């Protein structure tokens, strides 16, 4: 009986260890390269470097492929990602995307009057500037969906840079440029105050 109990406890311990390892499995080598800039498990501490933790896997997959075309990227992205992506094979991209998508996301810290203004723009848009409701694509809480990115919990500085780049077509997007090209700086600041995780 004692042997059965020891065997059962050992089996349970092995199963728990295997489950924990599976949840933390990441593609060897290249994930460490990603984490050297994007932080452990993709939770970047550098405000100009995006958080990848909890980002949509389909979006990450598409974005990593996009970095192979420098004509579609803003200069900061090319400088950071061009050399890296030349050394990533096609098979590794979905594995990297799945790994970072599976990590717990950073939550938005949307407090204060400016965030309340941003919440209104996010939910309703800004018709005078032809800005549609953000939540119609990015979800009610900014979680994203499939190829549409998660915005909630991202660095404020990074979100600001991206909205400015999309507004000016420095970062190409057939969807986002028309929806942001008349957005004011005040509206960008309000949206960022609502969405950002810092």
State the total domains in the chain. Answer: 1
- Please check the confidence at residue 114 and state whether its pLDDT lies above 60: yes
Q: Are 38 and 60 in contact (CB under 8 A)?
A: no
Residue with tokens 């970095």: 67
- CATH value at residue 140: 1.10.760.10
Identify whether 78 is part of a domain. Answer: no
pLDDT digits (tens, 9 = 90+) for 118-156: 999 999 999 999 999 999 999 999 999 999 999 999 999
Fill in the DSSP letter of residue 131: B
Identify whether 186 is part of a domain. Answer: yes
Collapse the DSSP code of 143 into the 3-class scheme (helix H, G, I; strand E, B; otherwise coil) and give the result. Answer: coil
pTM listed for this prediction: 0.84
């Amino acid at each position: 009986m004692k042997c059965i109990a020891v065997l059962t406890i050992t089996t349970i311990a092995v199963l728990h260890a295997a489950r924990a390892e599976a949840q933390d499995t990441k593609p060897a080598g290249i994930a460490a390269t990603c984490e050297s800039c994007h932080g452990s498990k993709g939770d970047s501490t550098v405000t100009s470097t995006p958080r990848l933790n909890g980002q949509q896997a389909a979006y990450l997959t598409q974005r990593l492929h996009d970095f192979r075309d420098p004509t579609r990227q803003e200069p900061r992205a090319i400088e950071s990602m061009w050399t890296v992506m030349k050394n990533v094979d096609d098979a590794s991209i979905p594995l990297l995307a799945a790994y970072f998508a599976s990590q717990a996301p950073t939550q938005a810290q949307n407090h204060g009057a400016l965030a309340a203004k941003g919440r209104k723009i996010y939910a309703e848009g800004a018709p005078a500037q032809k800005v549609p409701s953000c939540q119609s694509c990015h979800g009610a809480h900014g979680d994203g969906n499939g190829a549409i990115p998660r915005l909630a919990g991202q660095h404020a500085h990074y979100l600001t840079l991206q909205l400015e780049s999309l507004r000016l077509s420095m970062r190409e997007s057939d969807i986002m440029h028309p929806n942001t090209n008349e957005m004011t700086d005040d509206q960008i600041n309000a949206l960022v105050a609502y969405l950002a995780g810092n």
